[in-house]
Structure 1
Amino acid sequence: MSRSTAIPDASATPQRVPHYIVMVLIIGVVLAIVECYFSVTINNENFYSRYSSIFRTLGCILVGACLAVSGTVMQYISRNTMTSPSTMGLTQGTALALCIIIIFSPSLNQWMIMVWAIAGAALGGLFAYSIAKLLPWKVKSLRQISGGIVAVCIITCISIMMYSSYSTIDYIDHLVNPIMLGNPRFTIWVLLPVTVVAILICWSLSLRVQHRSDAVRSVSLSWATLICMFMVILMTSISTMLAGPLGLVGIIIPSILRFFLKNPPIRWLILGSAIYGSVLILGLDIISRTIDPIFDISVMPITVIIGAPFLIYQIGKEIEKTILRYS
């Protein structure tokens, strides 16, 4: 029987983890430690700048982990390697919600802004899901990604029109530049606990589902799916609120890990995504600060440029699989 998807199945998780998976994870941790050193010390000659860089470094680590794990969990739930927060409208929905709040209610406190960001992510994902349901494609995976792309384009067009209609570019600059990454209070009290708790919940749910039979799993998986999707919405919205709409991180990292680790078990894929998502965002942040230490270069277009070939590859592979299935 041919394999229908490249998403690892938790029920088929082996008892012993191959040594090369552990080695790849260790390499990722080492890379993250080295990047942390450069991130804290680069262009920082006094105590204040280094103090700010510590929290910016921690913010990059947590944002990268959130976005990469969110993409991995979404792909595991949907059984579709093309889904991620940035291809299913969650990231764009959060950015649009933040833009609306900053334009029409700029005095709103940070906690209420976070609530609206979470609502925006949920509505963006629901909008993409609704469009996918209306499309006539027979193949579920292609219908999902088509609905997501349509939703992303519509939400992005609305955001662009709002940007051009209101002279608020100074206020919404954080949507395209990670200027909030050095916020100690938000990073320590919001992003850190949310990231740790959400990743642990996704990890534990994957282990619980692992030993269930198909009959029981079909009944109980709905609760696990709802909880995991709420964790995805939470991680995506808070990451976007902190660092702006970084695109396709949830496509880049899982695709690379599945290629090099030969479709690892889902629990190790989640862990690897957290590690290498941090490595990716932290590395890009270091590069942007090195090129222009005064004005940070936006990381958002860089992630889109890097992630676009991965998305195109996944779409091409799915189309090829569909042609072979119906030929």
Structure 2
Amino acid sequence: MSFIVEIICLLYNSRVYFLKKLDYKEVEVKAMKQPMRYQNVTASLILTLGFVLLIGSMILSILYGAADIKLATIWRSIMDFNGSESSHQIIRNLRIPRALAAALIGAALAMSGAIMQGMTRNALASPSIMGVTAGAMFSIAILFAITSSPSQWMMMIWGFAGAGLGTAMVFLVGSISKSGLTPVKLALAGTAVTAVFQSISTALTIHFNVAKDISFWYAGGLSSIQWIHVQLLAPVFVIGLIIAVILGKSISALNLGEDVARGLGQQTRLTKFIGTLVVLMLTGAAVSVSGTIGFIGLVIPHITRFLVGADYRTIIPCAAILGGLLLVIADTVSRMINPPFETPVGTVTALIGVPFFLYLARNDGGSTS
């Protein structure tokens, strides 16, 4: 393991050295003109090692909980399922779908954050900060107010619509000022819109007496995950991942500025439109299943850029792996803090994300370039 870490450090130090010798944007422009190279050692290493760690963390997530389960029992429940054994039922119907959903949701939120940061050139952009998550929660609160038992499909559709509403409100509020939409104003607008949506949502749940029904989504958690949730998340995630990877080159160009992107022949408006749709799709689906889980979309893209550079053709898939890994680990930790009770996983991710957010706000000033 130490050998692998040394390789990563060596590759990163080499990259820093060359960026000091050459103009940063010139290097990036040349990178945009080159085809994606899967021989990129760092990205390949992150994808491979990250995937192995993700599988390992999912196995640990299945093993540990209110009832500890042996590894051999997991194997038997998969290869020779016995419905009369409670441990087999727990593994097949509760823990495996929960681990899979955690990986998918973490990956979706991380990809959404990476896309948002690349398109807006805003280091503080993420679904939880830019009003996307709050908008989705607002629409779900309305849905619970008008119907007592909405289907998962209905919740996902309303989540998409609310995410779109939150995004539109943030950009509208942020662009009112005379000086236009800056990264800092975008973050401030997202914070304000998030606060408004959360206040209205709370008022709706209290007025219509559905606070108990929706409290799970406010806290953010994976305790009620079933196979139906995985079946709904998986196709949305796959479609979003494919489109996001295809957009990777265009997002990298946008991250250099719209003028540079146009000079490279990119259709900036089309890229922003499709990228926004992907963010709404991924975030809406994730929120409709797990509720508010913040800061994964903020932290993971920064870690990924630190490891693999500024090319979003590699950032997006690597962020997906690392985002899934983080949420699976956070979910496992949330179950081990106070067993047999569960701490909301959103609390665990916030403990990581809030200090990171304050660090970025203090040092980066809200810009990725």
**TM superposition score normalised by structure 1:** 0.87
Identify if the C-alpha distance between structure 1 residues 159 and 19 changes in structure 2 by more than 3 Å, giving closer, same or farther: same
Matched, 1:41 2:84: no
2:243 corresponds to 1:198: no
Q: In the alignment, is the contact (CA less than 8 A) between 2:301 and 2:315 conserved in 1?
A: yes
Identity %: 26
Provide the rounded CA distance (Å) in 1 between the counterparts of 2:170 and 2:299.
Answer: 21
In the other structure, the counterpart of 1:299 is 345
Give deviations 1:162-192, integer Å, cap 9, x for gaps.
344443232113212424652101212x100
Shift of 1:153: 1.6
Structure 1 window deviating more from structure 2 (203-212 vs 145-154): it is 203-212
User: How far has the Cα of 1:250 moved from its partner?
Assistant: 0.7
Q: Secondary structure at the match of 1:155?
A: helix
Q: Is the 8 A contact 2:50 2:321 kept in 1?
A: yes
Q: Tell me which moved more, 110-119 or 192-201.
A: 110-119
Which of 100, 103, 124 pairs up with 2:166? 124
Distance in structure 2 (CA, Å) of the matches to 1:36 and 1:206: 28
- The 8 Å contact of residues 298 and 353 in structure 2, kept in 1 or not, is answered as yes
Query: Can you list the C-alpha shifts for 1:53-79, whole angstroms capped at 9, x where unaligned?
Result: 100100000000000000001111112
Q: CA deviation at 1:233?
A: 0.3
CA deviations on 1:37-62 (whole Å, 9 max, x unpaired) are 11112235410111121001000000
CA RMSD of aligned residues (A): 2.9
Structure 1 pair 8–153 and aligned structure 2 pair: CA distance change class (3 A): farther
1: CA distance, partners of 2:180 / 2:220: 39
**Residues 221 and 293, structure 2, Cα contact 8 Å, conserved in 1:** no
> Would the aligned equivalents of 2:183 and 2:366 in 1 still touch at CA under 8 Å?
no
The aligned runs of 1:98-247 (5 Å cut-off) are: 98-136=140-178, 140-175=182-217, 176-179=219-222, 182-188=225-231, 190-207=232-249, 214-215=261-262, 220-247=267-294
Cα separation, 2, equivalents of 1:65 and 1:229 = 17
Structure 1 residue 321, shift from structure 2 partner: 7.8
Aligned partner of 1:325 in structure 2 is none
Contact 2:101 / 2:229 at 8 angstroms: preserved in 1? no
Q: Is the 8 A contact 2:170 2:189 kept in 1?
A: yes
Report the CA distance shift for 1:205/1:287 in structure 2 as closer, same or farther (over 3 A).
same
1:73 maps onto 2:115 in alignment: yes
Deviation by residue 1:77-97 (Cα, 9 ceiling, x = unmatched): 112121111111010111111
1:275 is matched with which residue: 321, 326, 344? 321
CA distance in 2, matches of 1:248, 1:321: 17
Contact 2:123 2:366 in 1 (8 A): no
Instruction: Kindly state the Cα deviation for residue 100 of structure 1 after the two structures are TM-superposed.
Output: 1.4
* Equivalent in the alignment of 1:31: 53
CA offsets 1:2-34 (integer angstroms, 9 cap, x no match): 758xx9996266765542332233221121111
Distance 1:173 1:23, change over 3 A: same
Q: Rate the CA distance shift 1:13–1:231 in 2: closer, same or farther, 3 A.
A: same
Contact 1:135-1:147 within 8 A present in 2 as well: no
Match of 2:9 in 1: none
Please say which structure displays the higher CA radius of gyration: 2
Q: 1:2 to 1:130 in 2, by over 3 A?
A: farther
1:316 aligns with 2:362: yes
Structure 2 runs not aligned, ≥5 long: 1-21, 70-86, 255-259
- Shift of residue 241, structure 1, vs aligned partner: 0.9
Matches of 1:58 and 1:279, distance apart in 2: 11
Which residue type is aligned with residue 28 of structure 1?
A: G
Q: Contact 1:9 / 1:265 at 8 angstroms: preserved in 2?
A: no
Aligned length in residues: 318
Displacement after TM superposition at 1:231 (Å): 1.1
| Secondary structure, aligned partner of 1:226 | helix
Alignment CA distance shift 1:218-1:301 (3 Å): farther
Secondary structure at 1:23 match in 2 = helix
